[in-house]
Amino acid sequence: MYQKSVLNNGLRVITETLPYFHAVAAGVWLNVGSRDETREENGLSHFLEHLAFKGTSRRSASEIAREIDEIGGSCNAFTSQEHTCFHGKVLAEHLPRLVDLLGDMILCSLYQPQDLEKERQIILEEIYAQDDNPEELVQIAFSRHFWGDNPLGRPILGEAEKIAAVSRQELMAYRQATYRPEETVVAAVGRVDHQELVELVAANFGDFTNGFPPRPRRQAFTFPGIFPIARDLEQVYLCLGTRGVAARDCRRFAATLLQLILGGNLSSRLFQVIREELGLAYSIYAFLSFFSDTGLLGISAGVSPKNLEALLAAVCGELQKLKDEAVPEGEIQAAREYLRGSIYLSAEDLDHLMMRLAKNEIHFGHYISLEEIVAGLLQVTPAEIQEVAQDFLQPDLWALTLLGQVGPDWGGALDF
């Protein structure tokens, strides 16, 4: 059963009660991420997320870790382009302690100078590790070129030079400006009593206020083109993509099926053609990213330099087919069944259910059942998938980033 309440400060509490579970997964979702940062603030959302675990006015860092272990559950956090989420999963009887812990970490962290310096080094190590991973690095480079100077194009972790110099004053000022109760959702799924959770959240977050005006997000524009980056690697890592649909776009179901058919599983067209038939790459896949007002449809792969041209030609051929020919009903039905199975199997995971519940509230403002999602997928027609393909699979709208043994004057092209 789904229920929703709004506190006096605008914070929303949403629950889905599933009494047959022994546990409850709960998350506090702040509507702030790397997209809300200025160029000078890049990386601060992620930095604040890290520092929340380093001590509050009531708990030291070791006491936070010990309490998580004592309640026999888990507690973690992540930062994305548009959100910062602190979440945990515990036995239902320990929910009061989890809510108290999350509230303490989010609202009462001390951000002590010595803790800031320790965490600064950890985040710098994260950045350096990312720089050593070409599969991640090509994605970061693609975003930088594709989204340009928009915050969507900047790395969530920030740039090493900025993180090395950021001050406690800057972190505190950014937190004060962007952590807002009316933009916060507390979501819980499992063996949870809604009214009990509302009272717990009110006790821990009722005094949460922010008198600063909200920051509007900048409209995102895209910058197509080919961007080769020379690097001494055994493979060329590539990411190519175009603007996709936003989270609320009515075409999201057709776009999801298009992505799956193109490169979402082992029977997808790209995997079957590129790997199984032509043997050009070990790994290739298509992906979708949904944001509040835009999206991204992309393809990622790694390939030997000698096979790069052949791989791109084969990819372009598959994109052209999706524009020119309606997907056969049998292929669509197989994709629907795959997604239906994934949706219902994921319902066995409380963390996944909590995240789905929160994202539906954030993007739509209301609950969306699994049955509604499945029904939306079942209603998609071949014509709708082809229409989405014709709208988005246009070579002059795509960007391609290459990382590896390619020179700055690489002369390839996208033709589909």
**Angle subtended at Cα 78 by Cα 6 and Cα 217, rounded to the nearest 5 degrees:** 65
Indicate whether 188 pLDDT > 80. Answer: yes
pLDDT tens-place string over residues 338-396: 999 999 999 999 999 999 999 999 999 999 999 999 999 999 999 999 999 999 999 99
Q: How do residues 241-286 score in pLDDT, each as one tens digit? A: 999 999 999 999 999 999 999 999 999 999 999 999 999 999 999 9
Residues 6+ apart with CB under 8 A from 200: 95, 96, 99, 100
Q: How confident is the model at residue 179 (pLDDT cuts 50, 70, 90)?
A: very high
Beta bridge partners of 3: 15
Can you tell me the mean pLDDT for 332-342?
A: 97
- The whole-number average pLDDT for the span 88-111 is 97
Confidence of residue 411 (pLDDT cuts 50, 70, 90): low
Residues forming the active site: 49
3-state helix, strand, coil in the chain (%, to 5): 50, 20, 30
Q: What one-character DSSP code corresponds to residue 174?
A: H
Place of tokens 């382009």: 81
Confidence of residue 154 (pLDDT cuts 50, 70, 90): very high
Residue 135, pLDDT > 70, answer yes
**What is the model's pLDDT at position 35?**
97
Domains in the chain (CATH in brackets) are 2-205 (3.30.830.10), 225-404 (3.30.830.10)
| 222 in Cβ contact with 393 (< 8 Å) | no
pLDDT band per the 50, 70, 90 thresholds, residue 413: confident
- The pair of three-digit structure tokens given for residue 236, joined into one six-digit string: 């060329």
CA separation for the pair 17, 356 (Å, rounded): 14
Q: What is the pLDDT of residue 192?
A: 98
